[in-house]
Amino acid sequence: MFVITDGKRNDIGTTMEAYATAHIGTTVVDGEEIDAFGADALTVNGYLGTDGIKPLAKICAEKDKGIFVLVKTSNPSSGELQDMKLETNETVYEHMGKMCENWGEKLMGKYGYSAVGAVVGATYPEQLKEMREKLSRTFFLVPGYGAQGGGAEDVKNAFDKNGMGAIINSSRGIMCAWKSQGLCEEDFAKAARNEAIRMRDEILGAIGKISL
């Protein structure tokens, strides 16, 4: 199972090195190498620039790990900063996406995507489509599906022509599915499974794939 820690971490120098080691690296305790959190990827805030990404990129290269940088987040007030225009006439989120492409240039995987991904919300489908077109080697983590209002039609443009390139996240929609399905708390696992399957099939249908 691919594990993503939604920590939204960032700092610089030795502090960022410690965060990177704790979340996606390993450390030696009593002669044994320990993977503290057991995560394959970490969400990070890129607004400290390259100084905050370098320690993470180093571990990504060494340990075959990944990061997802906040680019266009799903929350209602994200546009207060992320939609602002720079002197280049590009938005802050566009520029952050471009930085993700640059940071991941030397961390490419065999399927054409780098270890430096981007968080782009389902609640802004037009911007999601725009970023997919512009960030050809950046894998997306897409929050906002389900409880925040995003649906399959909103997220379909996160994927490339092969149906790859994105992970769609639904937290409350799956964790609290027993409520929406009118079941008891004891049926938590059953309800979560049903919702995960329904979500999968809905998204596959929207991107033109056949349900497994």
Per the annotation, the verdict on 8 as an active-site residue is yes
pLDDT of 72 over the 80 cut: yes
Residue 211 pLDDT exceeds 80: no
pLDDT of residue 197: 95
Contact yes or no for 138/104 (Cβ under 8 A)? yes
Among residues 8, 54, 190, 209, which one is catalytic?
8
* Terminal-to-terminal C-alpha distance of the chain: 18
Q: Which two tokens stand for residue 129?
A: 């489509």
Q: Two tokens at 106?
A: 């030397």
Q: What is the pTM of this model?
A: 0.91
Query: In terms of DSSP bridges, do strands 66-72 and 116-120 run parallel, antiparallel, or are they unpaired?
Result: parallel
- Beta carbons within 8 Å of 127's beta carbon, 6+ residues apart: 72, 93, 120, 121
Tens digits of residue pLDDT in 143-177: 988 878 888 999 999 999 989 999 999 988 899 88
- The 3-state DSSP composition of the chain as helix, strand, coil percent (nearest 5) reads 45, 20, 40
Stretch 2-11: mean pLDDT, rounded? 93
More confident residue, 28 or 70: 70
Which CATH superfamily is 4-169 part of? Answer: Aldolase class I (3.20.20.70)
* φ/ψ (deg, to 5) at 19: -60, -45
The predicted pLDDT at position 205 comes to 92
Task: Please check whether residue 86 is in contact with residue 92, taking contact to mean a CB–CB distance below 8 angstroms.
Answer: yes
pLDDT in tens, 77-123: 999 999 999 999 999 999 999 999 999 999 999 999 999 999 999 99
Higher pLDDT, 28 or 101: 101
Between residues 208 and 107, which one has the greater pLDDT? 107
Reading the block at residue 123, the tokens are 């609640």
Q: Where are the domains of the chain?
A: 4-169, 171-212
pLDDT band at 36 (very low <50, low <70, confident <90, very high): confident
Q: Please state the rounded mean pLDDT for residues 129-146.
A: 94
**Amino acid symbol at 129:** K
Q: Is 115 helix (H, G, I), strand (E, B) or coil?
A: coil
